[in-house]
A and B are shown apart, each in its own frame.
Chain A
Amino acid sequence: MTTAASPSRVEIDYTGSERLTMNMGPQHPSAHGVFRAILTLEGEQVVGVDAVIGYLHRCHEKLAETLTYAQYPSIASKTDYVAAMTSEFAYVRAAEMIGKIEVPKRAQYLRVIAAELQRVASHLLWLGTWCLDMGGALGGGATIFLYCIRERELVLDLFESLVGARLLYGFYQVGGVRYDLPPGWPEKCRETVDLIDRRIDEYQRMLEENPFFLVRTQGVGVISRELAQEVGISGPLVRGSGVNFDLRRTDPYSSYEDFDFRVPVETGGDCYARYRVRMVEFRESLQIVRQALDRLPEGPVSSRPGLKSVAQVRIPKGEAYARVEGARGEVGCYLIADGSAKPYRMKWRGASFSNLAVLPHIIPGHKVADVVAIMGSVDPVFGEVDR
C-alpha cells in the first residue's frame, strides 16, 4: 500500500489467489451513467481498478465555439444534466467577466435562488441513487429513492413554473436571468422549502438510526486530507475530508456574501462524512433560499435589453475563468472571446471529472460491494465527466 500523501495508484501485492477481471459498466445497474470500471478481484476483494470514461462525449467544448452567447447557456445545462443551472451559471459568469457586464441585484438574487434549489434537487437525487446502490432496487434503498424523487419533483415543479422546463433550463443569460418570478412563486417556494426541510429530518432519522447504513458507510472509502488536496477534488468530497473550501465563501460571487450560511466540514473522509456534509448542505441551501426570498430587491432582472436576435450579445476580446460552487464541486468555465457573437474557445472544468480521479486511489482494498457505495458517494454525473 502506498502512503496517502503520494497520489500514485494503490497497488495490492499479489497474494497468490486466482484473480478475476470483472467489468462494471458501461451498462450496469449501479453505474451512474456510462462509466466503466474494470475491476481486478481476488474473491470479493478489489485489488485493482481501471476507470474508463468517454462514453458520453458530445463535443461540448467545440459546440460552444459554434453557438452564440445567447444560445449556449441552454446547451451548457446538458453538461451536468442533474444540476443544469450550475453550468449555465459558470458560462454566463465567464462571459460577464470578459465583457465587464453588471448584473442587477435582483437578477443576482434570482440566480442564487435557482442555484440553491438546484443544489437541493441534485443532492436529493444523489441521496436516492446512493441508497439505491447500497440497498438494491428491490430493497430498502428503493424506498429512500422513491421518497427522494417525490421531493425532487416538487423542486422541479418550481423550476417548471419559473422557466417552463424541468431538466434543462436556459434560465441564466449574459447580463441577468431570462424570466422574473411569476406571481405566487415565492409563496409556493417557501412552502416547498419548509416541506423539504421536514422531510430531510425524516430521512436523516431513517438512515442514521439504521445500523446497516452505518456499517456500510463508516470507514469506507476514506480520502485523506492530503490525497484530497493533491488529486484536486472539490465540493462535498473535499469538505468531507476536512478541507474548508467552498467557493461561495472563499470567492463569493453573485452576492453570496449577503447571505448567512454555514459551510459544513467533516474530518472523517469516508462515505459517511460525505453524507453528513451533504445533509448539512441541504439545510444551508434551503436557508439561503429563504433569506434570498426575504431580501429580494426590486428592479430589472437583466442589464441587457431583450433579445431580438441570437447574435445580439457581443463580448469584447479577452479571456476569463469563472467558477461557481456546483452541487458536486467547483464548476469552472474558461472562455476566450474574440469580439464576435461567439466565443473563440471554451473549456469546461467539470467537478465530476476531477472528483472521479480519486477513485483509483481509494477503491483497491475494498470489497466489491463497497465499490458501488464509494462511487455513489463521489456522485459523478457523466454528462459532466465526458462533456
Chain B
Amino acid sequence: MAEWVYPLIAPFIVLNAILGIVTYVTLLERKFAARMQSRIGPYRVGPHGLLQPIADAIKLMMKEDVVPTAADRPVYILAPVVFLIPCMLIFATIPFAPGLGVADLNIGILFFLAVSAMEIVGLFMAGWGSNNKYALLSAMRAVNQVISYDLPFIFAALVPVLLAGSLRLSDIAAAQAGLWFVFYPVIGQLAFVAFIVSTVAAENRAPFDILEAESELVAGFRVEYSGMKFAIIQLGEYAHVIGASFLGALLFLGAWAGPGPEWMGPIWFLLKAMFVFLVVTWVRWSFVRIRVDQILALSWKALLPATLVLLVGTAVVVVWRTPGV
C-alpha cells in the first residue's frame, strides 16, 4: 500500500463508523431510558425497534428546512457545520487499538481537549444567528457553562496523563496494562468521578442541560432549526458525548485491555466507551436540572478547586513513587 493511502482511508472509515455508532447510540439511550421509566421504548420499526434510527434519519431528511426571515442567514446556515466539525475531529487522535487510529499525535490528549472546547463557537453561532430570544439566552448560558466546565474537565483528564507520564493517548492506554487508572488507589476513583461530572456538564447533558432547558427556553439554541440542520446539531452533540466516552474509557478503563485475543481489543474499547456513555445517560435520566447560577457555583467553588488539588496531589504522588528523582 502506498504511503499516502492510509491517511485517506482511515478518516473515511472512522467518520463512517462514528456516524453508524451515533445513529445506534440514540437507540441505545432511548431503550435504556425507557427501561428506567418502566416503558418499552422504540419497538415498532423493525425487530425491537432496531430500524428506528434509520426511520428517524429519513424523517429528518424529508422535513422542510425553515430559515427564519429575521435570522442572520450566513451565520445561521454555517452554525451546524461549525458545530459538527470539532465534534467529529475529536476522534482523530483516539487509537482504537494499538496502531489503529487516524493520527496518534504525541500531544493527542491536548488536541482532543482543545478541539472539544471549540464546539462552543458553533453553539454560539447557532444561538446568535437564529435571532431568537430563547436561543440568545441559551447561547449566553452555553458560553458560561462550557468555559466553567472545560477547566475541571481538563484537570480531571490530566490526572491519567501524569500517572502515565505522556500526552500521547496510546502511551496512556499502554501504561494501564497492569492497573487501570480507575483502580489506582483513591486518586483514580476521585479523578474518574470528577471526569464523569465534568463530562456531563461539558456535554450539556441533563442535569446540566440548561442550554436546551425546554421548560424555560423551549429548545435553547436550536429552537429555530429544523430538518437536516437540526439533525446535524443532534449528530454533533451525540458524537461529542461518544467522543468523551471513548476518552473516559481510554483514560481510566484501560482502553483496549481485556481478556481474549488481540483482535478483541477494539470491541472491549467500544464496550467500555458504551459503559461510560450509559453512566452519563443514567445520570441524565435520574436528576432534575439545576439552575445556571448553581451550575456555575458548583464548578468554580467545588469542582475546579477539587480537581486542581487532585492534580497537584497526583503530581506529588508520582514524584514520590518514581525512584531516583
Contacts and interface: CB of A to CB of B under 8 A. Distances in A.
Interface string B205-235: 0110110111111100000000000000000
B294 A215 contact: yes
A141 B289 contact: yes
A322 B291 CA distance: 42
Contacts, number: 111
A142 B207 contact: no
Contacts of B141: 44
A51 interface: no
B290 A132 contact: no
Interface centre among B212, B215, B290, B292 (most CB of A within 10 A): B215
Interface centre among B39, B214, B284 (most CB of A within 10 A): B214
Contact of B288 (A24, A135, A146, A367): A135
B133 A138 contact: no
Nearest to A43: B140
Interface string B131-149: 0011001001100000000
Given A135-B288, A147-B37, A369 B206 contact: no
Given A22-B133, A146-B37, A367-B293, A139 B287 contact: yes
A147 B37 CA distance: 7
A261 to B, nearest CB: 30
Interface in B278-292: 284-292
A213 B288 contact: yes
A136 B215 contact: yes
A140 interface: yes
Contact of B206 (A29, A30, A138, A215): A138
Contact of B209 (A22, A132, A136, A150): A136
B318 interface: no
B285 A140 contact: yes
B38 interface: yes
Contact of A142 (B37, B140, B292): B37
A147 B38 contact: yes
A29 B214 contact: yes
Given A20-B133, A368-B216, A134 B288 contact: yes
B67 interface: no
B206 A139 contact: yes
B278 to A, nearest CB: 15
B288 A131 contact: yes
A28 B134 CA distance: 11
Contact of A135 (B39, B212, B289): B289
B293 A143 contact: no
B69 to A, nearest CB: 18
Interface in A193-236: 210, 212-213, 215-216
Contacts of B38: 146-147, 150
Nearest to A129: B215
Interface string A11-37: 000000000101010001110000000
A370 interface: yes
A137 interface: yes
A133 interface: yes
B93 to A, nearest CB: 30
B45 interface: no
B36 interface: yes
B137 A368 contact: yes
Interface centre among A30, A131, A135 (most CB of B within 10 A): A135
Given A134-B289, A135-B289, A216-B288, 17 more contacts: A20-B137, A24-B216, A44-B292, A136-B206, A136-B209, A136-B212, A138-B209, A138-B214, A138-B284, A139-B209, A140-B206, A140-B287, A210-B288, A215-B291, A216-B290, A369-B213, A369-B291
27 contacts: A30-B214, A41-B137, A131-B288, A133-B215, A134-B215, A134-B289, A135-B288, A137-B214, A138-B206, A138-B209, A138-B284, A139-B207, A139-B288, A140-B287, A141-B215, A142-B37, A143-B33, A143-B285, A212-B287, A212-B289, A212-B290, A215-B290, A215-B294, A367-B293, A369-B210, A369-B292, A370-B291
- Give 7 closest A-B pairs by Cβ, nearest first: A139-B206, A135-B288, A30-B215, A140-B287, A146-B37, A134-B288, A369-B291
